């Protein structure tokens, strides 16, 4: 079978199955909730209190999208925020008593609809369908595990790492962006300042390694403004891309910032860093300032982004 026919067959099955289970309806289970909203309720009802970051990761949701859903649920009294048992400054999402009372009839209705679907088939056909579904899941989960595996480890920075960060920033940005050596000099000054005034209670630098080789970095530093931290030195080597490393490094900064009591994280980038800007936007950062400049031998736009924690 040609590849285009195989693709068409999978798409045809997807259309058929989504129609069968009713996910194309504007409201799922004849309720006021979308499919994504129901998935969020399901996770909280069945897996207990969770941080927003875990829901984003497990459901593959954009941080801003989830934030809008949670805001809607909070206004409706379905979800509340409670302190973490391990970190009093961190907040977890919890389904309220009202939220559980709303969710449980919907969950029961969902089970009934699936039961009705199975009831159309006799016993042998039910078993055949379940076996086929298990085969599909096994094959796709195996590939998903390969795709989203994280073959990297994160550690705190140590001697020699800052020199590597400055050198690799200079080399990568010269090759990929055409920037001149003044950029490496700037990164070297940032690294030197970070090391000279380093406060481990308020600052941290992470180094990512794959098979013992450095492939990424990020740092969270004081800004000089009370309650505001700076995200700096984000770098992901080409061979480490596609594993979610950039997103993971930014998440580590946010977790540390929460624990250290910061209320806001600020960062500087330019309009030329498309991949990094995509990560920042997905985490909920907002562009608060921009300025056209000529720097590092290039015309560009300096950008300041902020995230309220």
Do 3-148 and 153-308 agree at the fold level?
A: no
- Which of these, 81, 53, 93, 92, lies nearest to 253 by C-alpha position? 53
Q: Is the pLDDT of residue 255 over 60?
A: yes
User: What whole-number percentage of the chain has pLDDT above 70?
Assistant: 91
Average pLDDT for 66-77: 91
Q: Is the pLDDT of residue 162 over 90?
A: yes
What ranges do the domains of the chain cover? 3-148, 153-308
pTM (2 d.p.): 0.54
CA distance linking residue 170 with residue 180, whole number of Å: 8
Average pLDDT for 235-248: 86
- Residue 29 has a pLDDT of 52
Q: Is the pLDDT of residue 71 over 80?
A: yes
Of 16-30, 209-223, 286-300, where does mean pLDDT reach its minimum? 16-30
Residue 79 backbone zone (phi > 0: left; psi -120 to 50: alpha; other: beta): beta
For residue 39, count other CB atoms closer than 10 A to its CB.
Answer: 18
Average pLDDT for 241-246: 82
From the candidate CATH numbers 2.160.10.10, 3.30.465.10, 3.40.50.11890, 1.10.10.10, the one assigned to the domain spanning 3-148: 1.10.10.10
**Does CATH number 3.40.630.30 belong to domain 153-308?**
yes
Q: Is the pLDDT of residue 154 over 70?
A: yes
């Amino acid at each position: 079978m040609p590849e285009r026919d195989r693709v068409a067959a999978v798409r045809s099955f997807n259309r058929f199955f989504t129609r069968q289970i009713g996910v194309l309806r504007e409201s799922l289970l004849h309720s006021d909730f979308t499919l994504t909203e129901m998935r969020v309720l399901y996770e909280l009802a069945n897996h207990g209190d969770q941080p927003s970051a875990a829901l984003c990761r497990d459901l593959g949701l954009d941080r801003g999208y989830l934030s809008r859903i949670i805001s809607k649920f909070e206004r409706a009294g379905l979800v509340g925020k409670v302190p973490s048992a391990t970190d009093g400054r961190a907040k977890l999402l919890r389904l309220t008593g009202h939220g559980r009372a709303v969710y449980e009839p919907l969950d029961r209705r969902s089970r009934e609809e699936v039961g009705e679907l199975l009831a159309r088939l006799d016993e042998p056909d039910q078993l055949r369908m379940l076996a086929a579904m298990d085969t599909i899941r096994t094959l796709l989960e195996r590939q998903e595990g390969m795709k989203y595996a994280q073959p990297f480890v994160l550690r705190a920075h140590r001697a020699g790492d800052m020199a590597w960060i400055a050198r690799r920033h200079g080399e990568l940005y010269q090759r990929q962006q055409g920037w001149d050596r003044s950029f490496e000099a700037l990164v070297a000054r940032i690294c030197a300042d970070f090391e000279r005034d380093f406060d481990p209670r308020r600052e941290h630098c992470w180094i990512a390694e794959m098979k013992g080789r450095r492939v990424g970095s990020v740092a969270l530093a004081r800004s000089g403004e009370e309650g505001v931290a700076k995200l700096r030195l984000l770098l992901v080597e080409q061979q480490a891309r596609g594993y979610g490393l950039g997103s993971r490094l930014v998440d580590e900064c946010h977790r540390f910032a929460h624990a250290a009591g910061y209320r806001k994280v600020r960062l500087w980038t330019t309009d030329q860093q498309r991949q990094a800007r995509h990560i920042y936007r997905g985490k909920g950062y907002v562009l608060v300032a921009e300025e056209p400049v000529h720097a590092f031998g290039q015309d560009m736009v300096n950008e300041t982004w902020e995230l309220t924690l």
